[in-house]
């Protein structure tokens, strides 16, 4: 079947068609715990290739119901969003261009690595503020399709706020542009007697007819990657209808992204950082409230297991920190070594980052915050200028260290991205830890965006252990029930993928799920694009495709 499909595709597109075992094995995985082998991997050369691919699948879908297209850029998705058992459309090789930045707007293709994108934006004194922690290895296509967030999202929000226009190929095999439309422009679109007009008519009616329920369903948290963002499309006050708000975070289930216009923000000149070491979580909610009142740019956290990893592998951090070298890195970690020797490890390390254009203002904020926290008798350190990157390296690189360095154990992200209001953290975190500790075969680290109430819990397991496989859905059930009890979201920024799509009904209820399914049907009635994600998820399919080995 693979060779036959490859030959058929070679007659249709100009790009590369790959069906060798090495390539199929590589594309069977992303950063998730799943393994799904595609039939073929395609590197499309241009938009004509994308149109031809969609038309090929559409025309052959009746005789081959399993045919589908799954877009992939960096392949760093942690939920299994970039893998599938049919055709993987890889964007890195040819869709890797960006246009010159114009009025703080960058037009970028999905296969551009974020690190290369940022290199260009920094030359203009600008940055895309919702980059994820995986910024060294991820691409812009995944950032847009997952509605990525990260360390600056506390102040700046998530990707959806910065995508101003998208060019896409839809299920009819044609290219379209989505951007904000005023009501008179929307009315003109709805008059069109074509597929685009049909989309606007159907989506307008879907949202208007169910508006109250849709608005009520919006999770009451600062960021969310679960489901389709129907509540963001129609701005009732401004009378603006914007399908880019639906497209962002749709995880490639509505069509193929060709290009996105992304707004950038100016870089702040100065920064100052406070580190808070917590030996118990009893005052966490109070600390969060006090810190947030000073409007930090970032407010991050990681646990004792993450800090242990940093101390254990500090030579790796020497490489990450560039010119410092191993000796200087070791010296910079001396305070943490002494802390362990004399006071034990803190349960949680809080990292508060202030930025601005006036260094005195930042120093005053730090001083006032320290004074405000004084009654709690906390262990606080003000990071010196040469120490800030050390703490950021610990926060950003813990997941990669887990993946690469811990022998005979493997990362298993499946409860990796829940979010609740920050005031609930001191209640929910101990309960989450209690649930995981019932299963000793699951080691874990905790890190996250404490200012948003968004935590990443990454279990470390022997994937061959049958108890691990059996208990993954049991732990997920209990923790997601807990998150929903506190009115949170099961994913703040990592999206649904294979692992969380089956839990969306529990989070939203049947009525909203039916609207999600209707949305999918409006754009993609044949289920061409990235099946089993966002709608029609199957927990059995996910559990049956857990990786056998690494």
Question: Do 304 and 204 fall within a single domain?
Answer: no
Separation CA 377–CA 365 (nearest Å): 19
Question: Do 85 and 110 fall within a single domain?
Answer: no
CA-to-CA dists, residue 317 to 166, 170, 329, angstroms: 38, 44, 7
SS3 category, 350:
strand
pLDDT at 282: 85
Between strands 87-90 and 105-108, the pairing is unpaired
H or E stretch covering 318: helix 314-320
pLDDT at 247: 96
The tokens describing 295, both together, are 């409007």
Structural domain of residue 505, as residue ranges? 498-539
**Strand 234-235's sheet: what is its strand order?**
181-182, 240-241, 234-235
Separation CA 62–CA 510 (nearest Å): 29
Separation CA 294–CA 366 (nearest Å): 9
SS3 category, 340:
helix
146 found inside a domain: yes
56 found inside a domain: yes
CA-to-CA dists, residue 432 to 286, 425, 482, angstroms: 20, 10, 8
Separation CA 248–CA 140 (nearest Å): 12
The CATH number assigned to the domain holding 182 equals 3.30.465.10
Question: Do 300 and 377 fall within a single domain?
Answer: yes
Between strands 265-266 and 126-127, the pairing is antiparallel
487 found inside a domain: no
Question: Do 124 and 142 fall within a single domain?
Answer: yes
Domain-terminating residue out of 405, 423, 451: 405
The CATH number assigned to the domain holding 86 equals 3.30.43.10
Question: Do 134 and 9 fall within a single domain?
Answer: no
H or E stretch covering 270: strand 270-278
Domain-terminating residue out of 384, 405, 426: 405
pLDDT at 305: 79
User: Which parts of the chain have pLDDT scores under 70?
Assistant: 1, 310-311, 313-343, 384-407, 550
Q: How many domains does the chain have?
A: 4
Between strands 87-90 and 69-72, the pairing is parallel
Separation CA 102–CA 263 (nearest Å): 10
353 found inside a domain: yes
Question: Do 255 and 125 fall within a single domain?
Answer: yes
pTM of the model: 0.93
23 found inside a domain: yes
Question: Do 330 and 187 fall within a single domain?
Answer: no
CA-to-CA dists, residue 29 to 192, 293, 366, 536, angstroms: 41, 42, 44, 21
Give the model confidence (pLDDT) of 304-354 as tens digits: 877 777 667 666 656 655 555 555 555 556 666 566 666 677 888 899 999
Separation CA 462–CA 469 (nearest Å): 10
Q: Is 302 exposed, middle or buried (0-12, 13-18, 19+ CB in 10 A)?
A: buried
DSSP assignment of 486-510: TT-BS-SSS--HHHHGGGHHHHH-H
455 found inside a domain: no
345 CB neighbour count, 10 Å cutoff: 17
Question: Do 254 and 121 fall within a single domain?
Answer: yes
Between strands 240-241 and 181-182, the pairing is antiparallel
H or E stretch covering 73: none
Asked if 27 and 72 count as a contact pair (C-beta separation under 8 A), the reply is yes
Question: Do 189 and 256 fall within a single domain?
Answer: yes
278 found inside a domain: yes
∠400-338-282 over CA atoms, to 5°?
75
pLDDT at 163: 98
Question: Do 85 and 118 fall within a single domain?
Answer: no
Q: Where are the alpha helices (DSSP H) in 157-292?
A: 183-191, 195-209, 211-217, 244-247, 284-292
Asked if 157 and 492 count as a contact pair (C-beta separation under 8 A), the reply is no
Q: State the Rg of the chain over Cα.
A: 23
pLDDT at 330: 56
192 found inside a domain: yes
Question: Do 288 and 257 fall within a single domain?
Answer: no
Question: Do 306 and 232 fall within a single domain?
Answer: no
pLDDT at 508: 98
Asked if 472 and 451 count as a contact pair (C-beta separation under 8 A), the reply is no
pLDDT at 532: 97
Separation CA 213–CA 508 (nearest Å): 11
Domain-terminating residue out of 67, 91, 115: 91
Between strands 16-18 and 379-383, the pairing is unpaired
Asked if 305 and 445 count as a contact pair (C-beta separation under 8 A), the reply is yes
Separation CA 461–CA 130 (nearest Å): 30
The CATH number assigned to the domain holding 371 equals 3.30.70.2190
């Amino acid at each position: 079947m693979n060779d036959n499909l490859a030959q058929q595709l070679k007659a249709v597109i100009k790009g590369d068609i790959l069906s060798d075992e090495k390539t199929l094995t590589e594309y069977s995985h992303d950063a998730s715990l799943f393994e799904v082998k595609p039939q073929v991997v395609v590197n499309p050369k241009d938009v004509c290739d994308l149109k031809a691919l969609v038309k090929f699948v559409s025309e052959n879908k009746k005789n081959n119901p399993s045919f589908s297209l799954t877009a992939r850029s960096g392949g760093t998705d942690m939920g299994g969003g970039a893998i599938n058992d049919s055709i993987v459309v890889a964007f890195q090789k040819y869709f890797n261009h960006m246009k010159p930045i114009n009025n703080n707007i960058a037009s970028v293709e999905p296969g551009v690595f974020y690190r290369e994108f940022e290199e260009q934006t920094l030359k203009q004194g600008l940055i895309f503020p919702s980059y994820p922690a995986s910024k060294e290895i991820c691409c812009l296509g995944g950032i847009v399709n997952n509605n990525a967030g990260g360390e600056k999202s506390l102040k700046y929000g998530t990707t959806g706020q910065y995508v101003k226009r998208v060019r896409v190929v839809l299920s009819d095999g044609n290219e379209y542009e989505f951007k904000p439309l005023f009501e008179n422009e929307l009315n003109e679109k709805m008059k069109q007697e074509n597929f685009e007009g049909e989309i606007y008519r159907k989506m307008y009616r879907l949202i208007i007819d169910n508006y109250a329920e849709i608005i009520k369903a919006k999770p009451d948290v600062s960021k969310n990657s679960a489901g389709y963002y129907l509540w963001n499309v129609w701005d009732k006050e401004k009378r603006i209808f914007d399908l880019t708000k639906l497209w962002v975070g749709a995880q490639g289930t509505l069509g193929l992204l060709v290009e996105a216009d992304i707004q950038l923000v100016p870089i702040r000149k100065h920064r100052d950082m406070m580190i808070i070491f917590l030996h118990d979580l009893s005052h966490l909610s109070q600390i969060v409230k006090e810190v947030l009142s000073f409007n930090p740019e970032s407010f991050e956290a990681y646990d004792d297991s993450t800090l242990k990893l940093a101390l254990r592998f500090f030579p790796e951090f020497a490489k990450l920190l560039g010119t410092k070298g191993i000796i200087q890195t070791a010296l910079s970690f001396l305070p943490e070594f002494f802390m362990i020797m004399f006071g034990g490890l803190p349960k949680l390390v809080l990292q508060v980052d202030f930025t601005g254009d006036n260094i005195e203002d930042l120093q005053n904020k730090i001083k006032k915050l320290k004074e405000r926290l004084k009654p709690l008798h906390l262990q606080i350190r003000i990071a010196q200028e040469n120490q800030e990157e050390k703490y950021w390296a610990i926060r950003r690189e813990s997941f990669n260290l887990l993946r690469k360095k811990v022998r005979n154990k493997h990362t298993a992200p499946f409860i990796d991205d829940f979010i609740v209001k920050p005031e609930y953290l001191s209640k929910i975190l101990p309960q989450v830890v209690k649930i995981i500790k019932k299963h000793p075969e699951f080691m874990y680290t905790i890190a996250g965006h404490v200012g948003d109430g968004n935590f990443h819990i990454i279990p470390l397991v022997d994937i061959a252990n049958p108890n691990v496989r059996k208990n993954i859905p049991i732990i997920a059930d209990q923790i997601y029930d807990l998150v929903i009890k506190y009115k949170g979201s099961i994913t703040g920024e990592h999206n649904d993928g294979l692992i969380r799509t089956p839990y969306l009904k529990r989070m939203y209820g049947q009525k909203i799920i039916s609207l999600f399914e209707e949305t999918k049907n409006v754009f993609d009635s044949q289920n061409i694009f990235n099946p089993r994600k966002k709608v029609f998820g199957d927990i059995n399919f996910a559990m049956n495709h857990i990786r056998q080995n690494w």
